[in-house]
Structure 1
Amino acid sequence: MGRMHADEHAIDTELVRRLVDGQFPQWADLPIRPLASGGTVHAVYRLGDGLTVRLPLTAGGAGDVAKERRALSALAGLPVAVPAVVAVGEPAEGYPWPWAVHSWLDGEPAREGRAAPARDLAGFVRALQALPADGPPTRRGKPLPDVDSPTRQAIEELRGTDEPFDAEAALAVWAEALEAPQWTGPPRRLHADLMPGNLLLRDGRLTGVIDWATAGVGDPAIDLIPAWNLLTADTRRTFRDAVGADDATWARARGRALSMAVIQLPYYRLTNPVISANARYVLTELGCRPVP
């Protein structure tokens, strides 16, 4: 994993050790080790066997600590486990932002293109959407036209790289999504970042969902993106039927998946192999990359 952001703060095991020991001496005897992750907003470290330390990489992610704490406090009755915020740390040791300690959840992160429990995933999405939701749409729950300009800009940026990529096919998917009726129902509760790495599996079942920093309310289409960033053609229909998506929501979900992929790929293609590989998978599943 390379340096992903120009304003990324340097974080290493020694810094995390000093932060933990200085603010939470009850954990001073627990080992700390970096956790392999494709995440783009936080550095994540394992603290002993039962905890993780999450530290924002940039100032833009600093507010996620409080947002994630609020989001996790509002979840109850989901069919899968979610982490608990065990403690929140303060800036110190030259590190300038709040950081958090979460409970550890066992499980293997899902991987695109591999067997995945489509019905479990649909059950989780339906259960999440059934929770009370109020207030205006949050960033990823806003209407699709709100991201029209950055999506088109990213398509053009990607067109200028050496990626095998069909820009015209991408624009066609995007146009179809924009032409679909927009969400006019009440806001639904959203995770809004259901990337494979945030979905934990055990024995072939979905058992946990992590990284709730972008959770909010709004258009439910955003939480259907695993249909293209995780599932295969064989299981995509099962997921759609089980989640009960109508044609308009499905079209908007395709647009959301496309938008995230084309924005991620030019930005992370040289620094984050996990995210860039997933973006390529999405574009292939949407028919926007040449098939060998």
Structure 2
Amino acid sequence: MRMHAGEAEIDELLVGRLVAGQFPAWAGLAVREIPSSGTVNAMYRLGEELTVRLPLVEGGVSDIAKEHAWVPRLAPYLPVEVPLPVGLGEPSAEYPWPWSVNRWITGEVPSTGDAALGRELGGLVQAFRAVDLPDAPAAYRGGPLQLQDAETRNALEQLEGAIDTSAALAAWEAGLAVLQTEPDLWLHADLMPANLLVREGRLAAVLDFGCVGTGDPACDLIPAWNLLPASERDVFRSVVEADDAQWIRGRARALSMALIQLPYYRETNPGIAANAQHVIDEVLIDFAS
């Protein structure tokens, strides 16, 4: 089932033709789809050292240029690997949007609820916050929480009877009540489990820079609820030095994302829907404690 209206039809044969037509040096490399719960891009492995990343919807097109411009500049600041771009594909008669070729990174997506990565994720967040690059774009979802209020409340209406919407609304409104007082900082802004890779239990890479930019530092606290077990949250919080106000906003941001994702992806993307349900459960337990 397609996730979005207007979603592009992409398969291995199409990717092979696009690569052969625009990057002849890679024309003989095998193309294999990379199974993913991603919602904006399709991913294919190209040979052993490359990946091809193609937007599924027009709304993801601008991410390709953003990543091509910013990932190489951000890489020296970060303590883990990033998917460095090596080629920028052009629209064609077969595919209407720009696409990219990036370096392959070996690793596995961490297991939600089992990842003992609090300290390493905290270090990654702090590394983003310390980036000193001018002319930063605005991070996606990095503005005031109030900008997400209408969509969050609409999602709560859709989830009536499926979750404890009264508790979820209280947790959301607690976040709305706490205003940002610290300056905007650099963020990844989409630290979902699928955008991280581990090797031998250690954080190895961060992927998908389509949301990157500057904004509310609380945005990058979402792994506390979408990935880490409760036992790792205090470690993560200590490393990122989040005060109560920032922590409450971060929890509300994680909750808002999950509330919006759950009804939208429940039938079309089981991975995202399962993580959204996990986040809602973890936030409500945390909020009640």
TM-score by length of 2: 0.95
**Bigger mean CA deviation after superposition, 267-276 or 124-133:** 124-133
Aligned residues of 1:229 and 1:257 also touching (Cα < 8 A): yes
SS in 2 for 1:277: helix
CA 1:149–1:133 in structure 2 vs 1: closer, same or farther (change >3 Å)?
A: farther
Give a deviation string over 1:226-252, Cα, whole Å, max 9, x none: 000001111111111121100000000
**Bigger mean CA deviation after superposition, 109-118 or 26-35:** 109-118
Residues 221-240 of structure 1 aligned to structure 2 (within 5 Å): 221-240=218-237
Aligned residues of 2:34 and 2:45 also touching (Cα < 8 A): yes
Counterpart for residue 279 of structure 2 = 282
Aligned counterparts of 1:217 and 1:21: Cα–Cα separation in 2:
37
Counterpart for residue 17 of structure 1 = 16
Aligned counterparts of 2:259 and 2:85: Cα–Cα separation in 1:
32
Question: How many pairs align?
Answer: 284
Counterpart for residue 125 of structure 1 = 125
**Bigger mean CA deviation after superposition, 151-160 or 122-131:** 151-160
Q: Which runs of 5+ in 1 are unaligned?
A: none
Counterpart of 1:153 in structure 2: which amino acid?
Answer: N
Q: CA deviation at 1:93?
A: 3.9
**Bigger mean CA deviation after superposition, 68-77 or 194-203:** 68-77
Counterpart of 2:132 in structure 1: which amino acid?
Answer: P
Counterpart for residue 150 of structure 1 = 151
Of 195, 200, 205, which residue of structure 2 is paired with 1:203? 200
Counterpart of 1:234 in structure 2: which amino acid?
Answer: S
**Bigger mean CA deviation after superposition, 280-289 or 11-20:** 280-289
Counterpart for residue 91 of structure 1 = 91
Aligned counterparts of 1:99 and 1:136: Cα–Cα separation in 2:
20
SS in 2 for 1:274: helix
Identity %: 55
Aligned residues of 2:139 and 2:189 also touching (Cα < 8 A): no
Q: CA deviation at 1:186?
A: 2.5
Q: CA deviation at 1:9?
A: 0.8
SS in 1 for 2:54: strand
SS in 1 for 2:224: helix
Aligned counterparts of 1:154 and 1:223: Cα–Cα separation in 2:
22
CA 1:177–1:156 in structure 2 vs 1: closer, same or farther (change >3 Å)?
A: same
Calculate the aligned-residue CA RMSD, in Å: 1.5
Aligned counterparts of 2:116 and 2:30: Cα–Cα separation in 1:
32
Of 193, 211, 235, which residue of structure 2 is paired with 1:214? 211
Counterpart of 2:125 in structure 1: which amino acid?
Answer: V
Counterpart for residue 169 of structure 1 = 167
**Bigger mean CA deviation after superposition, 135-144 or 150-159:** 135-144
Residues 177-192 of structure 1 aligned to structure 2 (within 5 Å): 177-180=175-178, 182-192=179-189
Counterpart of 2:129 in structure 1: which amino acid?
Answer: Q
Aligned counterparts of 2:201 and 2:140: Cα–Cα separation in 1:
32
CA 1:288–1:233 in structure 2 vs 1: closer, same or farther (change >3 Å)?
A: closer
